[in-house]
Amino acid sequence: MAFAPKTVKVIKRIDGLFYHPSFLKKDQKKIFFNYFKSLNPIFEMRYSKNNPPPEGDYQRQLLRPVYWLGNWQFACLNYYHPPEGILHRCLLAEKFPPFMQEIVHTIEAIARSHFNKKDIPKKWHLNTCLINFYGSHFQDGKKIDCARVGEHKDFEPGPVASISFGERAFFQFVGGNNKLKKNIHYEQWLDDCSLLVFGGQTFKEKTFHRVQRVESKNPPLDIAIDQFETRRINLTFRYVPVEHIYKLDELPMEKREDIQTYLEMLATHSDYYKKMLITED
């Protein structure tokens, strides 16, 4: 009887991209999941009282719960988008826990040894992390799959690093002006505990990236989020210059008003945000 050859997971290195299919060890994965369970990820609304929907658009809840470290980029503050969108976009947030900071140092070393120096800003270091929880949302008794991600760019300068957990995700870099048919520059299945680092002109400036599919072959992850079933968790580490990160009392009053409800939600599980609100009062 003939047997199919065993699939070998290979580290991939091409100009502007590095992929390691099994970057984290089992004990590291366990530490991450214990940390995820301590968080209170929130569903944000796209707009707010002082940042209403533009004409032709409407207020809506974002598709998935999130948690930010380093700085929090609220949707209603329009995220961080240099060179124009830098003022009052990033609120100083919780630091990376020590175990995560140690891993970030390793990722930074990989980037500095693999990427062209011209693609790494002078003060670049990964000081921001967006934790996305992907899966299905329950609404009116129906299960709605919202694990895919449309094409977009991460505008923070320098290389971006992504660590994936849970179900595999089919990740693509696409470009071109034809909305119906995009040119696929590169595609890759992102495995559980994998690391993807990308940067430079091809993968940061000239192309968008998207998640076309997330598998559903295993039981949901053991992460308790109301009305949400988590199949995949992804961390993206980015760099925001420290001069563009603001303390709460440095934000204009109308922006503080727009994020007040979110801060109160976060404070129910986080001493950091609880102290922030007490100090603000």
Among 7-21, 80-94, 132-146, 178-192, top mean pLDDT goes to: 80-94
Could you give phi then psi for residue 212, rounded to 5 degrees? -85, -25
Q: How confident is the model at residue 181 (pLDDT cuts 50, 70, 90)?
A: low
State mean pLDDT over 112-118.
93
Least confident of 12-16, 247-251, 272-276: 12-16
State mean pLDDT over 77-81.
95
Q: How confident is the model at residue 4 (pLDDT cuts 50, 70, 90)?
A: very low
Q: Determine the pLDDT at residue 178.
A: 55
Q: How confident is the model at residue 260 (pLDDT cuts 50, 70, 90)?
A: very high
**Ordered structural domains, the chain, with CATH:** 12-280 (2.60.120.590)
How many angstroms separate the most distant Cα atoms in the chain?
Answer: 73
CB 231 within 8 A of CB 167: yes
In terms of Cα–Cα distance, which of 71, 58, 76 is closest to 241?
Answer: 71
Could you give phi then psi for residue 242, rounded to 5 degrees? -60, -30
The percent of residues above 90 in pLDDT, for the chain, comes to: 81
CB 260 within 8 A of CB 152: no
Query: CA dihedral defined by 32, 264, 129, 249, rounded to 10 degrees?
Result: -140
* Residue 219 structure tokens: 């039981």
Please say if the pLDDT value at position 82 is more than 70: yes
* Residue 143 structure tokens: 């299960």
State mean pLDDT over 275-279.
91
Q: What is the pTM of this model?
A: 0.93
Please say if the pLDDT value at position 84 is more than 80: yes
The structure tokens 């495995």 sit at: 191
Amino acid at 82: P
- Enumerate the β-bridge partners of residue 138: 143
CA distance 30 to 34: 6
Backbone dihedral region for residue 70 (phi beyond 0: left; psi -120 to 50: alpha; all else: beta): left
CA distance 38 to 69: 14
Q: Determine the pLDDT at residue 5.
A: 39
Please give the C-alpha separations between residue 243 and each of 12, 16, 172, 249, in angstroms, as whole numbers: 35, 27, 32, 15
In terms of Cα–Cα distance, which of 38, 65, 64, 19 is closest to 164?
Answer: 19
Cβ burial of 87 (10 Å; 0-12, 13-18, 19+) is exposed
Please say if the pLDDT value at position 2 is more than 50: no
pLDDT digits (tens, 9 = 90+) for 216-258: 999 999 999 999 999 999 999 999 999 999 999 999 999 999 9
- Enumerate the β-bridge partners of residue 69: 129
